[in-house]
Structure 1
Amino acid sequence: MGCETWGVSSDGAGRITSCRWEHGKVVDEAFGLDEVSELLERDGSLIWVDLCEPDHAGLRALADELGLDPHAVEDAVSAGERPKATRHANHTFLTVYATRLVPSDDPSVSAADPEASGRESRLRTSRISAFVLPRGVITVRGDDDVDMGQVLERWNDDPELLQLGVGALVHGLLDAVVDGHFDSIQQLDDAIEGLEDLLFDERGQVHTVQVRTYRLRKELVELRRVVLPMRDVVNAVLRHRGELDQRHTALDGFYDDLYDHVLRAAEWTESLRDMVTTIFETNLSLQDARLNTVMKKLTGWAAIIAVPTAVTGWFGQNVPYPGFGRPWGVLFSAAVIAAVAVTLYGVFRRKGWI
């Protein structure tokens, strides 16, 4: 039995998905917002309501009915909020960001200018705000880029966990978000490995390396902004969870594991940022080394070419010289040119200049 998604509701609340569990099993779905307050009062009831692209007025009406803090309601629809967890009078408010990395040929990345397309960030972030009540969670999203069906599957796959209360819903939501962070980080790690191979390519694709390095640094900065604050979010949830649901402590191990995942994601992101910085510096060093090699080759060939210029210039003087006015003089000058040029070529070749 799965929870259904409505279309746009008549009260302007946007697209709504709703579900209610009792003893870990789905018992009701697709109920209206006017039923939420009543269902929250039932013992043993656990509900989830998801509002996608909600109307501000509709959200305020629901907030007034449930006694949600008006500042939290404003944060749920305001742009640019950072990931956080805030405790209010009768609920905890969460804001987290789900992430995904789109392919380079995605229409949102591709542009008319190929150069600009190569620099465009492929990282997409989607904000999820949540009001955590003693018997339910209300999530608010500004777009439908996040597949909440995966979160719902996590909840329904473990009915025994859902019997532990609202903490199980919060854990499933945060766990899905952190798993998405890991997927994005893994893709960026793979991209960095590919960049390392390109960095040491003998063909010296300098421009491609520069463009990809810039894009990876840009994506890691964006990812870091939403991954690092997750440590504070999970810590705050751990502190506030006991106030919301004091019935169970069995979730402590799940949250400890979640916090460990958050730390690993943050450390991985930092290490990738350091790796990209190393690649950038290495690329500059390799460019200097390639430039030195080119200068050596140019200098070597210039010295070789200077030999015939010097010899013919000497023999072209208007004073007598060895072989002046005689046929063997030409042969002598040609022999000098060939001997000195071959000698210089051998010397430079042995030194690796040419």
Structure 2
Amino acid sequence: MERTRLYRNGVLEAEGFPIDDVSDHIEDPSAVVWFDLCAPSPEDLGKISEELGLHRLAVEDALHSNQRPKLDTYDSHLFITVYGAKLVNSRLDLIEVSIFVVKNALVTVRESPEFEIDEVLRRWDANGEMSRYGVPYLLHGLLDHVVDGYFEVLQTMDDRIEKLEDDLFEDESGDRAYIQRQTYEMRKKLVRFRRLAVPMREVVGSLLRRGVEMLDPAMTPYYQDLYDHALRTAEWTDSLRELVGNVREAHINQQGFRLNDIMKKITSWAAIIAVPTMITGYYGQNVPYPGFGHPLGFWTSTIAILVASSILYLIFKKRGWL
């Protein structure tokens, strides 16, 4: 699946043309070319690398998945690796996207079609007059779409963590194992997501530092805004990790409090049971005692048991131990 576009003097001139024609357009300094490859073969990327002069190591990184988000600088181009992220039900899906940035060409290599490249095209078309800034504008639209996707994921996670907090402190909460399981899974997602958010901040920061070389001054504020968004995603991720840790700690403390309550109740009932045991044990000795052999002795012991047990019960109940 291949997507192509040709901008000339800031105007969209053609799209959907064969990738074999890309080399003809690149020779024109007034032209800017974008083309997209979805899960390409090594042969396809090899052909593109010859036409654009891409470095062999960058091409290898584009072919091998699970790369760290990064920005590499080569003599003739930049190579960027980013990840699109989205939550599908309770699963965090990460889609790797490799980007080759040439002077008048932008190449995107998607790991799978799950990365919605059509949303990027709509973002470009929504501000068509900005196309005159060429490759930096196209790159900004792509990275901005990726970072906005991070905000959507974090907002969903934030809502779910808030629900976990409500379930944690709700008096009639049912399945306590559910909270523990959800907290553990949420922490795993945030740790995995943080590996994208923090390097993304470094990628955009590196682009800003190279602004004098590759950015038109009019595009600098847009990249500064993008850097601010990337910084916010990293900070938001860290705050959510801390919040999940607090929920987990509160859940553990609640378990300790419930254990203390259980021990208080067991101790209280043991004390109540110990009184009649003591009395009946005393009256069961093989020696005569007041009321021995008479009904008065039975009623005396029974009343003593009832009175002592009732007093203990009322005391423990008042203290909230029962």
Give the TM-score category using the shorter length: over 0.9
Q: TM-score by structure 2 length?
A: 0.95
Task: Give CA deviations for 1:179-203 in whole Å, capped at 9, x if unaligned.
Answer: 0111111111111111112222334
Q: 1 CA distance for matches of 2:229 and 2:253? A: 36
Q: Which amino acid letter does the alignment assign opposite residue 160 of structure 2?
A: A
Q: 1 CA distance for matches of 2:59 and 2:109? A: 10
Which residue of the partner structure matches residue 194 of structure 1? 163
Aligned residue runs from structure 1 range 219-258, under 5 A? 219-244=189-214, 248-258=216-226
Select the residue among 202, 217, 228 that pairs with 2:187: 217
Q: Is there any run of 5+ residues in structure 1 with no aligned partner, and where?
A: 1-14, 105-121
Which residue of the partner structure matches residue 76 of structure 1? 62
* Contact 2:6–2:13 (Cα < 8 Å) also in 1: yes
Offset of residue 320 of structure 1:
1.5
* Contact 2:98–2:108 (Cα < 8 Å) also in 1: yes
After alignment, is 92-101 or 34-43 more displaced?
A: 34-43
Offset of residue 23 of structure 1:
4.5
* Contact 1:47–1:136 (Cα < 8 Å) also in 2: yes
Which residue of the partner structure matches residue 19 of structure 2? 33
Aligned residue runs from structure 1 range 77-96, under 5 A? 77-96=63-82
CA RMSD of aligned residues (A): 1.5
After alignment, is 266-275 or 325-334 more displaced?
A: 325-334
Matched pairs, number: 321
Offset of residue 32 of structure 1:
1.1
Q: Which amino acid letter does the alignment assign opposite residue 89 of structure 2?
A: P
Which residue of the partner structure matches residue 112 of structure 1? none
Which residue of the partner structure matches residue 86 of structure 2? 100
Offset of residue 261 of structure 1:
0.4
* Contact 2:211–2:220 (Cα < 8 Å) also in 1: no
Task: Give the share of equivalent positions with the same residue, in percent.
Answer: 45
Which residue of the partner structure matches residue 207 of structure 1? 177
* Contact 2:66–2:96 (Cα < 8 Å) also in 1: no
After alignment, is 18-27 or 162-171 more displaced?
A: 18-27
Which residue of the partner structure matches residue 275 of structure 2? 307
Report the structure, 1 or 2, having the larger helix content: 2
Which residue of the partner structure matches residue 65 of structure 1? 51
Aligned residue runs from structure 1 range 275-290, under 5 A? 275-290=243-258
Q: 1 CA distance for matches of 2:212 and 2:75? A: 14
Change (3 A) 1:266 1:177: same
Q: Is there any run of 5+ residues in structure 2 with no aligned partner, and where?
A: none
